Amino acid sequence: MARKKSTQLTDSEQSIMEILWHKEQASVREITAALSEEKATAYTTVQTMCKILADKGYVDFRKEGKAFIYTPKITQKEARKGALTSLLNKFFGGSPEVLAQHLIQETDIELDDLAELQKHIDRADD
């Protein structure tokens, strides 16, 4: 039985999206060059990944001469929201409260950070 295609971003797709959010648009060659600054990346790999991102609905593209220029269809904020919703549903029963409790119990969050979060919560209630 074939595995269901994920609509979430893989680490590699996330790296490409980070470049597109920063640059607002880029060719496969430009994306490859940016990725290769940290780790050698093949042009054809980036080309395939960009097609997958288009299929998933994360990017649009247009052709300029021989080059394909990719632009993000969603903002970084929208991507974060989708990833967080998926995480909440998958691991925390859709409950932000359970996630917050987990973060408090399982991380070394400082009291100052908790106080800052409380300020944000209080402002959201206004």
Retrieve residue 69's tokens. Answer: 């220029």
Q: How far apart are CA 88 and CA 82, in angstroms?
A: 10
| Contact (Cβ atoms closer than 8 angstroms) between residue 31 and residue 50 | yes
Q: Cβ contacts of residue 1 below 8 Å, gap of 6+? A: none
Report pLDDT for 117: 82
Kindly compute the dihedral angle of the four CA atoms of residues 116, 120, 121, 123, in this order, to the nearest 10 degrees.
130
Q: List the chain domain ranges.
A: 11-72, 92-125
Partners of 27 in beta bridges: 69
- Contacts made by residues 43-49, CB under 8 angstroms, sequence distance 24+: 46/16, 49/12, 49/13, 49/16
Q: Determine the pLDDT at residue 3.
A: 56
Neighbours of 61 (CB within 10 A): 18
Count Cα neighbours of 42 within 13 Å in the Cβ-side half-sphere.
Answer: 4
Topology at the third CATH level for domain 11-72: Arc Repressor Mutant, subunit A (1.10.10)
Alpha carbon distance 89, 7 (integer Å): 14
Identify the pLDDT of residue 70.
Answer: 98
Residues in the chain with pLDDT values less than 50: none
What per-residue confidence (pLDDT) applies to 41?
A: 95
Q: What is the tens place of the pLDDT at every residue in 14-30?
A: 999 999 999 999 999 99
Distance, in Å, from the CA atom of 116 to the CA atom of 105, rounded to the nearest integer, reads 17
